[in-house]
Amino acid sequence: MRIQAEQLSFRYEDGRQAIQDISLDIPSGTLTVLCGVNGSGKSTLLRLLAGLAQPTSGRILHGDGKKADHRAAEAVSMVFQQPETQLFAGTVHKDIEYGLTQRGVPQAERTEIIASALRKTGLAYDEFAGRSPFLLSGGEKRRVCIAGALAAQPGLLILDEPTAGLDPQAAQSLLGLVQELRRSGLTLIIGTHDLDSFLPLADKVIVMKQGAVHYDGPAPALTADPVLLADAGLTAPAYASIGRRAVQLGLLEGVPGSLEELLAELEKHPLPVPEAASLPAGSCAPARVISPDGQSGLPREHSANYSDDGIQSQAVHASAVATSTVAASTAVPSAAVPSAVAASTAVPSAAPPSAEAETAHAATTPGAPQPGPPARRSGWQQLDPRVKWLGMILGSLVLLGMDALLPLLLTAGLLAGLAASARISWRRALRFFRPFLLMFLFLWLLSGLSWSSPDFAIGPLSFSYAGMLRGGISVLRFLLLIALGFLFTETTTGAPLREGLEWGIAPLRRLGIRTRNWSLAVSVTLQFVPWILGKLAQLQLALGSRGRRARGLARWSPRQIALLIVPLLILVLGMGDELATAVESRGYDPAKQRTPVYQLRWSKRDTLAALGILTVAALLWWTARIS
Amino acid sequence: MIRAHNLTLSVREGQHSRSVLQGIDFHIERGEWVALTGANGCGKTSLIRCFNGLNTPSAGSLTVAGLDMRPAHNRAAVKQRVQLVFQNPEAQTVGSTPFEDIAFGLENRGLARDLMIARIGEILQQVGLAHKTEAEVSTLSGGERQRLAVGCCLALDADMIIFDEATSMLDPEGRLDILELAQGLWQAGTTILWVTQRMEELAVSPRIAVLGGGQLLYDGSPRSLFYASALPDALGWTPSPAVRVGKLLQRQGWPVHLLPLTGQELEEIL
């Protein structure tokens, strides 16, 4: 399927421009490679082409020249980078079936389609259909994801980093799969960093740079010009840079289009075998082979350059480790190493420790005379975490006791005011609350249903005002509890939160309770709320790419949420396991004495804040009692 | 740093016990850089978990940093001296900012507060995250998170750092970034065990150990592995472009010691 883009632009929710004014024409049956450094707008462009996001301006045209609407976008399938965030069901069969159900494919036809899609990706239906997708190897998971995309019989298949994270063998065989798909006539767009593997297969390459198209054309013209890729921050494939060097030396006539071509050319035009003595000193690979026992000493000659001078260290390239000759490694200016990176790895270890400590100090505590933990110096950040804990606990208790609208609305107003004073942006708050809103709306409507004494009816459903009020109050109460927690975690980082809690539950230690474990668990869990929300968004995007392009609130329907639960749980459990290992290997021992970096310091303003909290809580409690 | 003799590890699976590592003889000198490779499921992770005390060998002897790894208290002591940087950049941060994350390890060591704050500043500088001291961890890139994980190893004054496929989930820029950071530490004296499946990362390691089916299949230089051993072919590896060109040159009569291991070396040869 041919796909065209006309002057596409996209802005993020926070107003930043992701891509601007992109026009493309991708012919049917071709393989297009899309590359660019992180942040170049590559992923955004792929999502727009897949219809998973809507451009701020510009339009996308499909084969027949019609503007792509939601239904037309379903002719495009997309497979994302991490298979972990795009597998949902208990078996491979059910996982692929989901997309078919969404597209209204009759039950009788599904098994055949699923079997055929699996076959195309090299997986036998009999062997894999009944297995859990979560227990497959990385390469197999990737194939199941691609099979799921193929089952929809797309006109265009978009693959985002299909080989990333795979071991070399799995990556190699996935490359074979891509070639087969290309041969079958499918139109493919592949977003990748792996230019060595994919450029030789490409009919067309699009290089992105800072949200715009930097290059759009065939691969050979791109690799023949070293500047084009370097300008976009990318490293040319090895076969191209080796080939270019060979062309300069007159060994080859043209830059080869793949490694195989390069090898074939070099086979035809063999390099003269060098006389060992005629080689200039230090110009090539080390003659010394390091013995396996490592006793011959290690090539450390260039370590001095590394630490002495940031500029020189730029030339210490990845391969320098193997090169025991300093001259060779430092003489070649390495364009591949961004100077900022090199400069930052070169540690000015020569600085005296005291000076270093001072700089560190200055960096971490701007303007603070006493050494202290870093703090975003907003009023909220300066408050003692114990005051905030007090506010949260008292607030939650008062909220739980409210069963009238007036005090709840008062609290809502108060929380909104507090959020504004803490400078929490609306977008951030919205992003946090979105997953809850539809569920709560659904619960609210459910509580309003009434068969016996309805006040009004919508279609077959009848509702009562009293029920809706009751339901509304419960729902609002829960939302406000969540809002309170949100306000707390948004204004408190992990360490103060933990210290505050540990102080509060310290008396329990006498009962033999390991308070350190508890405070650590709570602070780490709260810290992972944004992570969970991020994963949830990824899962949703993947789900969206399978079936209908759900928009707005439809993405939070109970059915969708039910599908997201299992993979999310698996991700969270896996994360918990890995984190536990990380915590343990950092020398954590709940029984051992510890010196907290964050020190609790109660000041006058904390007393004032505590008094304020007590007064407000009392007033709200009183309002709740009388209303 | 590490001396393993006839190291064997079996794990119980229900009624049976399955042998994971068999008769491994392996040693790493202090200050050495060794790459460890092998296909998924070959026992790499089990082996490195023996090295930092998370696994206990079933037979054979293992000493790490001069400590016999049989007694539990020695294994506990080694855990801090031999640190791991894991594959998944997201699952290694305990604090909510880089400052707090580095602090976590130092707090556990019971360092005085002033010293701790100074040390955190030093470490963040060393791993190139000084400008992100107070950034929310969730806003860091994969490469930055791995830098932070390296910083946490430094906070515990690790003698040896094991990078367990620490670059496999990063983009090319992030991969190079972490490799260079590790090389800097190595040059400053830290022992590095670099676990990887990437050919170009093997090629820059002075010494490579290949594990397969729970056994040590190769232990030697990259040059003899890629140009004098049948193992890469037997294991179905696709060598890096530089080595593939090198193999062609080898067939054309070039001596092994002149053959390239990396693209840069190859360009120099040409």
The per-residue pLDDT for range B139-191, each reduced to its tens digit, is 888 899 999 999 999 998 899 999 999 998 888 888 999 999 999 999 999 99
Evaluated on CA atoms A513, A515, A520, A523, the torsion sign reads positive
**The token pair that represents A191 in the structure block:** 């977003």
* Residues A533, A190: Cα–Cα separation, whole Å: 27
Instruction: Return the CA Rg of chain B.
Output: 20
Do β-strands A31-35 and A204-209 pair in parallel, antiparallel, or remain unpaired?
Answer: parallel
Residues B159 and B65 sit within 8 Å (Cβ to Cβ): yes
Residue with the larger pLDDT of the pair A607 and A296: A607
CATH of span B2-239: 3.40.50.300
Q: Which of A186-190, A366-370, B98-102, B245-249 has the lowest mean pLDDT?
A: A366-370
pLDDT range class, residue A329, cuts 50, 70, 90: very low
* Averaged pLDDT score across all residues of chain B: 90
The per-residue pLDDT for range A476-502, each reduced to its tens digit, is 888 999 899 888 888 888 888 888 888
pLDDT at B12 over 90: no
Half-sphere exposure of A441 (CA within 13 A, CB side): 11
What confidence score (pLDDT) does residue A71 get?
A: 61
Give pTM, 2 decimals.
0.80
Instruction: Return the CA Rg of chain A.
Output: 30
Mean pLDDT of A70-87: 80
What confidence score (pLDDT) does residue A353 get?
A: 38
What confidence score (pLDDT) does residue A551 get?
A: 56
The per-residue pLDDT for range B72-94, each reduced to its tens digit, is 888 888 888 899 999 888 888 88
pLDDT at B30 over 50: yes
Of residues B13, B107, B109, B2, the one with CA closest to residue B53? B2
Beta strands in A177-249 (DSSP E): 187-191, 204-209, 212-217
Of residues A320, A344, A347, A341, the one with CA closest to residue A332? A320
* Averaged pLDDT score across all residues of chain A: 78
* Residues B140, A360: Cα–Cα separation, whole Å: 20
Q: A–B: how many Cβ contacts below 8 A? A: 324
Cβ neighbours of A294 in B, within 8 Å: 28-29, 32, 34, 206-207
The per-residue pLDDT for range B99-113, each reduced to its tens digit, is 999 999 888 888 888
* Residues B142, B17: Cα–Cα separation, whole Å: 38
Mean pLDDT of A188-204: 93
Cβ neighbours of residue B139 closer than 8 Å, sequence gap 6 or more: none
* Residues A133, A140: Cα–Cα separation, whole Å: 8
Q: State whether residue B27 sits within 8 Å of chain A by CB.
A: yes
Q: State whether residue B245 sits within 8 Å of chain A by CB.
A: yes
Do β-strands A204-209 and A212-217 pair in parallel, antiparallel, or remain unpaired?
Answer: antiparallel
Residue with the larger pLDDT of the pair A20 and A448: A20
Put simply, the chain A residues between 457 and 476 with a CB less than 8 A from any chain B CB are none
Residues B177 and B201 sit within 8 Å (Cβ to Cβ): no
Angle between helices A426-448 and A465-490 (to 10 degrees): 150
The per-residue pLDDT for range A503-557, each reduced to its tens digit, is 888 888 888 888 888 888 888 887 788 788 888 888 888 888 876 665 555 666 6
Q: Which of A291-295, A424-428, A510-514, B181-185 has the lowest mean pLDDT?
A: A291-295
CA A321 to chain B, closest CA, distance in angstroms equals: 6
- Which of B34, B108, B241 faces A594 most closely, judged by CB atoms? B108
CB contact under 8 A, A298 and B122: no
What confidence score (pLDDT) does residue A355 get?
A: 39
What confidence score (pLDDT) does residue A351 get?
A: 37
What is the domain partition of chain B in residue ranges? 2-239
Mean pLDDT of A305-333: 36
CB contact under 8 A, B113 and A371: yes
